[in-house]
Structure formats: structure tokens, C-alpha cells
Amino acid sequence: MTRPFDEHHLTPPLLEMRQVTQTYLLNRKSLLGARPSLTVLDNVSFDVRPGEAVGLVGESGSGKTTLTRILTGMEKPKQGHVFYNGADVWAGDGERWRNFRRSVQVVMQSPRSSLDPRMRIGLSLLEPLRALKIEGDHVARVHEVLDQVGMTRQALERYPHEFSGGQLQRIAIARALMPAPKVLIADEPVSALDVSIQAQVLNLLKDLVRELGLSLVFIAHDLSVVAYTTSRVSVMSAGRIVEVGKPLDLFTKPQAEATQNLVGAILTVEAGLAGNALA
């Protein structure tokens, strides 16, 4: 596949996966049979440059979350490599690994399952600093991050069940920001949020990219949300990247069938009022 963004080749990627294939073994169908395997990522290359916001869209089950797990080092790819700052993260020493883990943070799909229900929010926010053994003024950092996501300090003393889904997702984003990452990977971070809050979070993500020079990998199945947030979008289908382009080009002249389906699935208020949204 040719890459349409030659100008980007001038800046080396900050985080990159090259020709990654990931397979999982499934359960045996019979006692003696071989375990069948499923290829979830098929020779996928993907990268993000410093301060760049890239999008990843695709229907459910296409492999987006698996790609996230590989990019963050939660899973080792069966084939292929992951590079942070030009260095293979699976080949270096402990220091390289720690720097990579600290610099790449992820916001997961479901805030309720990513926060410990028995832990006060304040403690949950400190958790990544403890796990990564990061020193400094933790209290000041907590307050700074709460401000960034638009939550008040009262939240610190409360437990996850005392918040609505929308509030919890902002807390999850705050927690990902705690170690001051260089790359933020957001896996459908706004699909569970209310529209007005969605807009706040999308604006916040854009601000973080611009003001902190953060790189963003934004994953969603709603192309309009991704288009708003990123400047280069990859479309996934069945474990492959089938199209890469600027958001406007994907909207106006989608090439791959998967892209066309995603464009066709967008619902708008105007189409609804005109009575042809479900046509």
C-alpha cells in the first residue's frame, strides 16, 4: 500500500509498529485435533509522530483494541516489531521498557471496568504513579489533571459507583494523563459520553495535542468524531489496514468497502428530521 503523506516521512515516528501479525489460539474442537488459530492482525504497520493526532476507525471486531494492546506493550506481537523513539521496545533493557511504558498511556473503552470499585478516586489517580515509581509532587499533579478534565476536587474522596458513566470516563482520562505521557491512546473514549461532554473531551484532547505537544492515537467506530480530532485516519477491516487518508478524503471519496460502510452508518439530526436517516 502506498502512503499518501510523504511530507510526514521527514519526521521520524515517535511510536510505531511495523509489519505486526497477531494470532490467538482458539479452543480445540475435538480432543486430538490441532488448536485452530485466529489471525487478528495481519501484517499491520501503524505509526504516530510527535505532536501528531492520528485516527483509527473500523467496525467492531476488526482488531482496533488488539492493535492498542500491542502499541502499549500489553501484548507481545507474534511477528513484527514495536518501536518507541526508534528503539525496539521488546529488545532493549529495563530502562528502555520503563520509559516506553510511562510515555504511552491508554484510555480504555469502559471506564467502569478500568477503575477499581473499592478505591477512592484520589487513590485511583495516584495508582499509575505508584506502579511506574514516578516521584514528585503527586498532590499538585492530581489537581492539575483534574482541572484539565474539568472535574472538581470533591471527586477525590468519592468512589466510582457515585459517578455517572460520563463522569467516570473523564476520571479515567485524568488517570491516563497522570504520568505525563508523550503518547495518549484513546480507545473509544467518548462513545459512552453525552454529546455536550463529548465535545468538551474532544476539545480537551485537541488542546492536549497542541499545548502539551502530545501525540494522540484516537480509536472510534464513528468516523465524524475521529475526523474532528485527527488529521490522518487509518481504516481497519478484518485485521488489515485497508485505507489511510485525510478525514475529508475518506468522507467524500471513500475507496475501501469498509470505509464506505462507516460513512453510510453516520446518523445526523438533519437526516433524522428529513425522515431518511434509517433508509
Partner 1 sequence: MTKPQTNRPDALEVQNLVVHNTVLTAVRGIDFTLPAGGRMGLVGESGSGKTLTALSLMGLLPMGWQANGTVRHDGVDLITQSDKAFSSRRGRTISMVFQDPLSSLDPVRRIGFQVSSVIRRHTKASKQEAEAQTLELFRQMSLPRPEQLMRAYPHEISGGQRQRVMIAMALACYPQLIIADEPTTALDVTVQKQVLRILNNAVQERGCALMMITHDLPIIAAMCDTVAVMYAGRIVEMGPVSEVFRAPRHHYTKGLLDSQPTMDNIALDGSSRLASIPGMVPPLHSLPRGCAFHPRCSAASDRCRAEVPQLETGQRRAACWHPIEAGADATVQAGVTA
Our CB check for partner 1 shows the closer of 88 and 257 to be: 257
Which of 17/168 has CB closer to ligand ATP? 168
User: How many helices (H) does the chain have, and how many strands (E)?
Assistant: 11, 10
- Cell 475529508, located at residue: 248
Shortest Å distance, C-beta 7 to Mg ion: 31
* Residue 86: Cβ within 10 Å count: 9
Least distance in angstroms from the C-beta of 167 to ligand ATP: 8
Q: Cβ 222 to ligand ATP, closest distance in Å?
A: 18
The binding site for ligand ATP (CB under 6 A) comprises 164-166
Query: Is residue 145 within 8 Å of 125, Cβ to Cβ?
Result: yes
| Residues linked to residue 79 through DSSP beta bridges, in sequence order | 21
Query: Please, which of residues 214-253 interact with partner 1 by CB under 8 A?
Result: 221-222, 224-225, 227-228, 230-231, 246-248, 251
The beta strands (E) that lie in 51-151 are given as: 53-58, 79-84, 87-88, 104-107
Contact 150, 200 (CB under 8 A): yes
DSSP 232: E
Q: Is 53 in the site for partner 1 (CB under 8 A)?
A: yes
- Phi first, then psi, for residue 102 (nearest 5°) are -75, -35
Residue 131 binding partner 1, by CB under 8 A: no
Q: How many Å apart are CA 104 and CA 182, to the nearest integer?
A: 6
Q: Which is nearer to Mg ion, 81 or 221 (CB)?
A: 221
Nearest residue to ligand ATP, by Cβ distance, number only: 164
Determine, following the binding rule CB under 6 A, whether residue 38 of this chain makes contact with ligand ADP: yes
CB of 252: closest distance to partner 1 in angstroms? 9
Member of 167, 215, 234, 259 binding partner 1 (CB under 8 A): 167
Q: Contact positions toward ligand ADP, by CB under 6 A?
A: 24, 38, 40, 58, 60-66
